[in-house]
Structure 1
Amino acid sequence: MTTAITKASTTATEEEVIQDALGLLKDREQVAERLLESSAKHSFDPDTELDWDAPLEDGKWFWPPELLSLYDTPLWRKMSDDQRIELSKHEAASLASIGIWFEIILMQLLTRHIYDMSLTSAHVRYALTEIADECRHSKMFARMITHSGAPTYPVSRAHHNLGRIIKTISTTPGSFAATLLGEEILDWMQRQTFPDERVQPLVRGVTRIHVVEEARHVRYAREELRRQMVKAPRWEAELTRVSSGEAARVFSIAFVNPQVYTNVGLDRTEAVRQARDSAHRRDVMRLGAKRLTDFLDEIGLMRGLGRRLWVSSGLLA
């Protein structure tokens, strides 16, 4: 769908173009009602759904090896099987930690989004339902980290404070673009994880729950971002392009905390370099982001400086 509105149009006024584009969007209340129905049928309580008392299984991964940052690097080829599995445990903990950080930001963005809306609308009710989902997810990720025996891996102080700014001043389309960035890449990785029998059963259970519930969150965010981009003034559309590109750059840097490498006995500087230079790693990250980048391109967010920032993040070729 083309959402760009240009002064060159001679067949329709700007208002008519907007109305045509809005006509292609799903009705906001209808989308919310369907998502509420799905939530009622397919929501989970991780505290009772998962077996937290089961011991970890020897020789099983905490994340598929092909998705690890050092897979198929010279360092990887020197590591023992036990050290590789240990790396998977710490990278899974790092991803869960960034997931909690991101979901806390997302919950605040959602409350800001609905603050001025009709509190009895289905759209608002679904936003509150999603916030409840994210609360459960954050607790689930924290409990998984503890159960694995790995430490938490908070983002850097600079990124922590940047998140504080974003959740306070982000415009509505910028909020949903950032939401999709945090949701879709991890969702793609988790879809590779939950059916993988090489992975710890608890981790597979956690990712299964997250994938099922996150599909609704992605639908909600995509529909709302489409709607917002159709109506956004030019300055806000450009700001969203730049902010989403910068968010992609930050996200790609924060994805794996470098302390992971130190904690598994690797040379931190060399590990960071090899992960950064790994062609396999670049392919994984771009593949994980492709569905999202295609969508953002479709709605007009992959242009100019914003696109260059996405390329510099490594998430877009």
Structure 2
Amino acid sequence: MNTLSHLVTSLLDQDVTAPNTQLGVLRINGSDAGKFLQGQVSCDMTKLSEDKSLYGAICSVKGRIISNFFVIKEQEDILLVMSASLVETALNHLKKYAVFFKVTLSVATDEFAIQASFTESDNPQTPDALDEWLPTTISDDAITLTISESPTRASLCLQRNANALADNAPASPQAELLSLLTARPLIDAEHSEEVLPQWLNMQRTGGISFTKGCYTGQEIVARMQYRGKSKKQLALFTWKGDTDVSSTLLDSEGKSIGSVFKAAYYHDLNVAQIILNIEPTEVNDFFLGEQAVALIPLPYRLENTK
């Protein structure tokens, strides 16, 4: 059993379910919704169906992520589930291109109560890459999509009654840690237009299609994949104890080798997603300030990006 499995076992002594108030929803309605988004997002919208959702990103012309999301097809509508702090940003960006299509864009966050769930996976094996299709079920009451099967079965449930979770589903720090361990992150406003999709491993987590054709930022994203020399990648780290640590990752000589992307803690256990600017095999010891931290495996395999 590897370190990741040990962490999951310690956190998942029973199923974990909690509201996720940090997520919001952008709705795209109209006969051209899929065609419109095909030219704007990194995933292949022709593969979207009511029972298969996708993971993708809206990029700037420089290839930086404006917002990334999980995309759901609901009859004639398309829903983008993303950080609530970026719904308006994504709306305003897409509106610039929507005038050429038969689509209507609107904020739908208040229509749903979003809940995250983590259960033991039926397939705990580490895959080479995460599947681009996210199994989805749609009912009159809710939309449920499975985000990942490794290292846990992680799901999001969009309940149509926006007040459904208010009284009986407290926040869960365990859920925050388990979400980080899926290593399929959604960016917040502070990172908008700061990171390339590959820096979040989206080429291995089903978030980028390299065969779909052109979309905004596609040339930069493709060049990074086939010609780029950047070693930047998302990695997982853990440590016990102090939560007040530096956001800069150092090697044993004090050289900066990465920065914290997201972090959470539960009791004395800390987990962080860190964007490395080196290959992790190049360094033996890692530190956040004076705090020693341990590299743990990803829930998928990551090819050498050299």
**TM-score, normalization by structure 2:** 0.28
Q: Whose radius of gyration is greater, 1 or 2?
A: 1
The structure carrying a bigger strand percent of its residues is 2
Which has the larger helix fraction?
1
What TM-score, normalized by structure 1, do the two folds share? 0.27
